[in-house]
Amino acid sequence: MKKEKSVKSKKSNKVMTSILNLVKRWAFPVILCAIIVVGIVFVMKYQGKQEEEALTEIKGYEGDGQPIVLENDALKLTLDTTTTQFELLVKETGKIWYSNPVNASNDPIALGADKELLQSTLNVTHSVQSGLETVYNNYKYSVSKGLYEIQYEPGSNSVRIDYSLGDIEREYIIPPVCTVAVYEEWCSKMERKDVLLLEEYYKKYDINKLGKKDNKEELLANYPILENEVCYVLRETTKGKVRVTLEGIFEKAGYTLEQYAEDKLLSNATNTSDKPVFGASIIYSLVDDELVVEVPVDSLIYKKDTPIVGVTPLPYFGAGSTEDEGFLFVPEGGGSLIRFNNGKTTMPNYAANVYGWDYGLFRDSVVHSTKTYFNTFGIANGEDSFLCILDDGSSYASIQADISGKNNSYNFVNAKYAVATREKYDVGQIANTDIYVYLEELPNEVYTQRYRFVNSNSYVDMAKEYQEYLLEEYGDVLVKKTDSSTPVVFEIVGAVDKVRQIMGVPVSRPLKLTTYKEAAEMIQQLKADGIDNMSVKYSGWCNGGVRQEFLEKIKLISALGNKKDMQKLSDTASQLGVNLYLNGITQYAHNSNLLDGFFSYSDAAKRISKERAELYEYSAVTYAAREGGKSYYLLHTDIAHQMIDNLAAFAKKYKTGVSFQDIGKELASDFYKKDISHRQDVMDEQVEKLKAIKDKFEALTADIANPEIIADTKNWQAKVKEH
């Protein structure tokens, strides 16, 4: 009996073993197949669906061609509604400024494309995935085709022009074809006279009851729906003016752009094009003695595969001809002049980024780095001049200028705004062209330019006009200095970074230059030498030296002294009436790791590609990143704000001023996945952050500071090195 049970048990074990082996043998293939099936279902269900993009509505001018006049006590703007160009009269002087050169179409130097640019009031630059850029000027691609609308309320001092730009013909929002049932439904919503007009221009087709002149094959090719339905088709001979009237009738009945997009699919005869179409708007307003020009970012409409990367409003406003005498004012250094018609046609055109390069964007080389700290430009022509001040959105702008004799006969200066910023992917192993990724969500901004007119051709008077603007905008915080002696600023360096060998490993360590005690003695000596109105900035005093580490915790450098020595330095400066500023880096992390509280994957800013914003020093010889040089990181915006607070709190503890080495000088976007900070956002946030801490200190200071940040922050002292 026991023997039989033993045999059965062995058989049972063999069966179980076989089953387990079978399961092991087929488990992986089954799981793999299941994953593949789920993947296919996912792709079919989700990936196969392309995200629908907003349809760009094609604008159409329907006015009577009469000019529109905006006027106040100081200015009079007359807009030509057939060209959307204008002239602006300054009543005090009688000077007339033109949006475009008067004889642009007869320029003897300009070629056809350049003549079109001269007649444009708005240029749109778009790109494709490979990075190739194309400029669409609103004269050729909009105005000459009548693809624009003008919004104006009689009596107001503002006018808006909406442009559709593209290599297209005017489309009319009316059904090209519709079934009998749909046609009758629309007619039921219209007045009798409108129905009668429709009957004149829509023809009823029954494929089984065609007339002698009807071509059955052609009709079916153009309107496949006729094979199963009796339909009404818009006659091809219908004139443009009639189509405009029909458009109004259908709009009144409730016909929409979305319905038109669906109805177009029923007709193969409708002219369609894969060429890109863009939307852009510009607003002109007279505000006291200023002409205010605005370009709302939400008016910039494009498809994802052809993003708008730049927009230039009024590219040739006030341009000087070869017969004019004057100059272009550009904000280079403390301000520079480019004389009209100076003959330097072999030189490149002037171009500079307002507030410098955006360090949130990648660059693999630096030939030259353009930077301007003033958000303004201007033109002097004859006895008069104007100053254009970039207001909202100035941080996205670059100033560009050129003289006559190159592409045309005019001297001009303008501002180009970056829109959908981009970043290049390195895909050299799989493609022989560059691939770019573009910013998907645009900031909610309005690019604003203010034109102020000066009754003088002197650049000094133009500078005074800018000063007056700053006083008007920020007069409550800009206080005139009453110093009896010349102010002097000294910078003392505590320690620099030097690579040393520690147990055979190269390690960066601070090299002592000026201890806390020595700094106090220097201040005493300078004071004794008769320098009364003195400020001192102390750099390289904490966290490793000049190439300062992450400021999560502020640590004094032991080689320079201890806390008592630092306190004595502060007390000495205070007793002598010297402003002492502890300088720090709050936007970047040098030589930092987890031991310093820095984790690059969470604390570093992100690029558009979502990679960490790792930065490099560049060689003046090769222009590329220095070989063997240490990289550093741009901090996530929120982390940078925390570093500002940490530095401010430490300075308050020792009763000194605080100095920001980078704030006010450099602006960087942060494309963090769910917390994007655009360049303008960062500037505004820096201003608010500085306002929040200003009451804690006697003074704030920086190496170089942008006027908007200086003016917006009370008690701010700027040591401007370059001006």
Q: For residue range 328-379, what is the model confidence (pLDDT) as tens digits? A: 999 988 889 999 999 999 999 999 999 888 888 888 778 777 888 889 999 9
- pLDDT at res. 704: 61
One-letter amino acid of 137: N
Distance of CA 334 to the CA centre of its chain: 25
Which tokens is 695 given?
A: 């009451």
Distance of CA 467 to the CA centre of its chain: 27
> What angle separates helix 192-201 from helix 240-253, to the nearest 10 degrees?
140
- pLDDT at res. 708: 53
Nearest partner of 175 among 123, 119, 232, judged by Cα: 232
Task: Give pLDDT tens digits for 272-284.
Answer: 456 788 999 999 9
One-letter amino acid of 91: K
Burial of 609 (0-12, 13-18, 19+ CB in 10 A): middle
One-letter amino acid of 202: Y
pLDDT greater than 50 at residue 157 = yes
Beta strand 95-98 with 86-90 is: antiparallel
CA atoms of 277 and 274, how far apart (whole Å): 9
- Which residues of 521-587 form beta strands (DSSP E)? 534-539, 579-584
Which tokens is 63 given?
A: 């006015």
- pLDDT at res. 274: 64
Q: Is the dihedral of CA 133, 135, 141, 147 positive or negative?
A: positive
One-letter amino acid of 24: K
Distance of CA 331 to the CA centre of its chain: 20
CA angle, residues 162, 168, 172, in degrees to nearest 5: 70
Q: Where are the alpha helices (DSSP H) in 254-386?
A: 257-264
CA atoms of 139 and 120, how far apart (whole Å): 5
Q: What DSSP string runs through 216-257?
A: HHHHHHH-GGGGTS-EEEE-TT--HHHHHHHHHHHHHHT--H
At which residue do the structure tokens 């094979």 appear?
227
Q: What DSSP string runs through 123-169?
A: EEEEE-TT--EEEEETTTTTGGGT-EEEEE-TT-SEEEEEEEEES-P
22-36, 545-559, 674-688: least confident range = 22-36
289-298, 460-469, 475-484, 526-535: least confident range = 475-484
- Give the other-Cβ count within 10 Å of 44's Cβ: 10
Task: Give pLDDT tens digits for 533-550.
Answer: 889 999 999 988 898 999
pLDDT greater than 80 at residue 298 = yes
One-letter amino acid of 214: D
CA atoms of 588 and 397, how far apart (whole Å): 24
Which tokens is 260 given?
A: 């038109």
CA atoms of 87 and 107, how far apart (whole Å): 19
Q: Given its phi and psi angles, is residue 669 left (phi above 0), alpha (psi -120 to 50 degrees) or beta?
A: beta
- pLDDT at res. 719: 33
Nearest partner of 524 among 564, 573, 485, judged by Cα: 573
Please provide the average confidence, as pLDDT, over all residues in the chain: 84
- pLDDT at res. 485: 81
Partners of 583 in the β-ladder: 659
Which tokens is 717 given?
A: 């002292």
- pLDDT at res. 34: 52
pLDDT greater than 60 at residue 210 = yes
Check: CB of residue 305 under 8 Å from CB of residue 358: no
Q: Helices then strands (H, E): number in the chain?
A: 14, 37
9-18, 438-447, 578-587: least confident range = 9-18
CA atoms of 330 and 369, how far apart (whole Å): 16
pLDDT band at residue 212 using 50, 70 and 90 as cut-offs: confident
State mean pLDDT over 399-404.
95
CA atoms of 361 and 629, how far apart (whole Å): 20
- pLDDT at res. 197: 93
**pTM to 2 decimals?**
0.77
- pLDDT at res. 433: 65
State mean pLDDT over 638-645.
92
One-letter amino acid of 702: A
- pLDDT at res. 148: 92
CB crowding 173-205: b at 16 or more within 10 Å, else e: bbbbbbbeebbeebbeebeeebeebbeebbeeb
Which tokens is 83 given?
A: 């060209």
> Between the CA of residue 309 and those of 100, 127, 192, 396, what are the distances in Å?
23, 7, 49, 11
Return all residues near 708 (Cβ < 8 A) that are at least 6 apart. 375, 394, 683, 687
Check: CB of residue 310 under 8 Å from CB of residue 416: yes
Top pLDDT among 489 and 160 is at 160
